[in-house]
């Protein structure tokens, strides 16, 4: 190979390398799938596709963006709600998502963000609230739920239909979140045997000391999620 041929190949290689687009491999490039939006408020939520769920999300509000380590099932679209939850005349952004579901399972999650800073505002776990505010008893004959000054008494056989009961009432195989009248509400299942639900615990939240905490708690035999 003579000198002219060598120079030709060197020049050709240089031209081809310069013509290639730059390779980027940043975390931001991974969040390409638009999974929810409030278009008239310039709010967009993008997910990173990792079967069987989105693992990691990028939130964009106008010129601002932030990446969160959130999960959401593919076929359960997150709900975005723009609402003033703390009466400061400024809207917060609420993200309600499902991190796992199936027969008798619904693992609902909620995130509340300050729209200026994109910082999260803490929401006390409904299970923590139940553990602190409900006393329960379960036997082969009777079920008792003590919620504040109210005691609810139920007959075990009305719910088990011959199924073997648990040692105690289990809360939380199904957890749902809703926004009603500018307030957060969570709904938590109460179960005494496999597939045997006695109803739901309803928790309403209020804003206090820079977080969302228990306002009131009650029981309902039915809930349509």
* Ranges of each domain in the chain: 26-121, 123-225
Question: Can you tell me the distance from the alpha carbon of 188 to that of 40, in angstroms, rounded to the nearest whole number?
Answer: 33
Helix (H) / strand (E) element for 158: namely: helix 157-160
Question: Can you tell me the distance from the alpha carbon of 171 to that of 198, in angstroms, rounded to the nearest whole number?
Answer: 10
| Beta-carbon count within 10 A of 115 CB | 16
CB 205 within 8 A of CB 183: yes
* pLDDT tens per residue, range 112-156: 999 999 999 999 999 999 999 999 999 999 999 999 889 999 999
* pLDDT tens per residue, range 34-78: 999 999 999 999 998 777 788 899 999 999 999 999 999 888 899
Q: Is there a cis peptide before residue 109, judged by omega within 30 degrees of 0?
A: no
């Amino acid at each position: 190979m003579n000198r002219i041929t060598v120079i030709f190949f060197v020049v050709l290689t240089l031209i081809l390398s310069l013509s290639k687009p730059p390779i980027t491999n940043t975390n931001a490039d991974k969040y390409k799938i638009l999974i929810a939006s409030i278009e008239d408020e310039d709010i967009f939520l993008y997910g990173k596709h990792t079967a069987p769920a989105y693992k990691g999300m990028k939130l964009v509000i106008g010129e601002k963006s932030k990446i969160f380590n959130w999960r959401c099932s593919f076929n359960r679209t997150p709900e975005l709600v723009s609402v003033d939850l703390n009466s400061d005349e400024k809207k917060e952004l609420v993200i309600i998502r499902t991190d796992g579901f199936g027969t008798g399972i619904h693992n609902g999650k909620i995130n509340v963000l300050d729209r200026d800073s994109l910082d999260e505002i803490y929401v006390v776990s409904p299970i923590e609230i139940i553990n602190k505010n409900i006393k329960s008893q379960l036997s082969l004959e009777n079920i008792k739920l003590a919620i504040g000054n109210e005691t609810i008494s139920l007959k075990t056989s009305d719910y088990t239909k011959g199924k073997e009961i648990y040692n105690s009432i289990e809360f939380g195989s199904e957890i749902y979140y809703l926004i009603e009248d500018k307030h957060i509400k969570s709904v938590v299942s109460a179960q005494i045997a496999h597939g045997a639900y006695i109803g739901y615990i309803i928790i309403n939240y209020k804003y206090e000391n820079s977080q969302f905490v228990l306002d009131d708690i009650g029981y309902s035999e039915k809930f349509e999620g």
